[in-house]
Structure 1
Amino acid sequence: MNDRPVAFITGASQGLGAATAAGFIGNGYDCFLVARNRQNLKAVASRVAIDGAQAAVCAGDLGDLSFAQEAVESCFEQFGRIDVLVNNAAWRNIGTMRQMELEEWEKTLRICLTAPAFLAKWCGEKMQAIGRGVILNVFSIQSKMAPVICPAYVAAKGGLDALTYELAALFGPSGIRVLGLNLGAIATEMSAHYVAENGDNLSQHLRQFAEDMIPLRRFAEPEEMARTMVMLADERANYMPGACLEIDGVWSHQATPCSLKHRQFPQEFSRRCIGNDSQPACRCR
């Protein structure tokens, strides 16, 4: 068996997944990186590699459950163990339920809910053999906030939220902790894909709206989320199975945008809180 713990990370070719790989490797892990784009995976593996650490890559579509199962077996054959599973991979299309096609619905649920469920099953079997392990399910505050423009994604992430409790109760007696991360806005490639029907990119406008609703006045950086995942995988978080943590800068509990609070109480909420295209929004004083 490999002496270093091993993290199996999906959606690892960019954004949050790539940052998570760097975070785990920087904390003494080897990583098995899974995504569709082999070239991007190799670039991530090369970038995060440090002396004494390995970053193996496995390219394929997690919508194909036979590939997903083969990836688990490949990881175990190479490293002899799986200590952490990070169910991070996601896929979505932008459109309302009126526009949704059955094929798009089923693809989204397969990648965002079915694949994580069965990866947990297969990785859990490997973890049971050594009596310990951690499964981290990544979902979204959008599952509770009705964004309207991605119904299948919302349904899948809500399902993954509920599944986290189920798996925590199932695997807990075997020494396997299952936790969820209910994430808010993160500065990744996925947050830049909002386009209007006429082709205009709305991503910057949506970002400004979101930052007006986030008391911290900014999107999270992927590295911040990665540090949280590494922390949750640590033995010091042993008594947290089933926990689903909201990590959103308090967005989901904020009722009033900062710009309106400034109009109500200008002495307490500075106008500088309101950002623009060239100047990031500042924190409230």
Structure 2
Amino acid sequence: MEARELRLGYGDRLVVDGLSLDLSGAGITAIIGPNGCGKSTLLRGLGRLLRPRGGQVVLDGADIARLPTREVARRMAVLPQAPQAPEGLTVSDLVARGRHPHQAWYRQWSTGDEKVVNAALAKTDMLEHAERPMDELSGGQRQRVWISMALAQDTGLLLLDEPTTYLDLAHQVEVLELVQRLHSDDGRTIVMVLHDLNLAARYAGRLVAMREGAVVTQGAPAEVLTEGMLEEVFGLPARVIEDPVTGAPLVIPLGSHATPRDSDQAAG
């Protein structure tokens, strides 16, 4: 997937102007940046949920704006921010909707579809909850079901807009561990928007930092998460040290109450 001179906006407001980004072979990419910088707008443009005002999004060499919707859905699954399920819908019913792009008037539900749905639920550890209504589940469980639906589309590319929103820390880690397995076990390419910089550094192999609708820097977490970048992009005085568990960069905000001694301890 590649964005070429992409321009995106809402009404009279232009949010992304002339952005180019190559996501080919990126593994897991996390898009980071302050609120309002255009992260979710960019993901909506990449997922064809928002029509570009200029430029194009290229998927497997083709402009997705010129591809049939069903064809795009067979190549790419999109999970928007905080999706809502109709009241009373069961887990299996929701996940089954991921098979719609593979069906037609002459080919409706099949045993093959059922196998794909069950496999998606098993991969997210939700198979035993298949007949439960969605509104009975915890936040972490619901998010795993939505990811199951995306998996049921059987695509090699997943776009996830803030998949950890409204989840506590334990459930955030649970969801991101699942995302990591989807890449390591199945080879799926995943692009996600994340707010938590330390979780992004731990679970993504590539970071894209945005500010005011533009890409400021991109690359491996250790290359992107620098004290200078944090100051420039977030206006955040911070120290960056090595995560003692993973070796990834670990951001420690200094805040307005930090003293020189606090800073020295954080750096050490």
TM-score (norm 2): 0.35
Whose relative contact order is higher, 1 or 2, with alpha carbons under 8 Å and at least 6 apart? 2
TM-score, length basis structure 1: 0.33
